[in-house]
Amino acid sequence: MTTYDTEMIMPVVAAITGTRSTGHRELIWYADMFSTFLAPFATKDAHFYIGGARGIDSLTLLWLAGSTEARITVVVPRFVQDQPAEARHAIAECRNRIAEIVELRAADLATPAYHARNRWMVDRGHLVIGFPREGCETSGTWQTLNYGASQGKPRLIVPV
C-alpha cells in the first residue's frame, strides 16, 4: 500500500449500540474488550455516534474519551437531563472530549424514541458496532444491528 492509497481510505464513522445490563462483568473486562474491538477503528479521524444511556453507551464513551483521539457525538432521544444518573455523569466527565451532543427532543421517552435515536445514529454511520447481552436475542441492540443490516451497512457484533 502506498501513501496515496492510505490517503484515500475514508475514516471510520460508526454507530455504537449495546446492552444497558453490564453489571455481570468487571469494568476491566470491558476495557480489554474495547481495546481489542474498538481501538482498531478509533483513529484520530474516526467519528463515533454513541447513545447517551447507561451500560455500553456510558462505558464506550468513557473508554473512547480516555483512550483515543476519535471524534465523539452523544445522541439522546430527548434531553441529557432525562438520562439516568450514570449516563449524565459519564457525559459530564467526558464533556471536553465530546464534539457534539444531539438532543432529539422526543415528546415521550418510550421505546419508539429510543428506536428513532438508534436509527438516527445508524443513518449517519458507515458501520454499526454492537455489544448485545449474550443470550438476549430480542433487544434494542439487536433492533439497531438489524436496522444497520437493512441499510446495507457492515456490522461488528461482540456479545457481552
pTM for the whole structure: 0.91
**Residue ranges per structural domain of the chain:** 15-157
List, run by run, the mean pLDDT of 10-residue segments along the chain (160 residues). 55 95 93 96 96 96 98 97 96 98 95 95 97 84 96 96
pLDDT at 2: 52
Predicted local confidence at residue 10, as pLDDT: 74
**What is the structure's pLDDT at 139?**
86
- Chain centroid offset of residue 125 CA: 10
Q: Which three cell numbers stand for residue 49?
A: 455516534
The predicted pLDDT at position 47 comes to 98
Please give the Cα distance from 82 to 150 (Å, whole number).
Answer: 30
Residues 6+ apart with CB under 8 A from 109: 77, 78, 82
Topology (CATH level 3) of domain 15-157: Rossmann fold (3.40.50)
3-state class (DSSP) for residue 159: coil
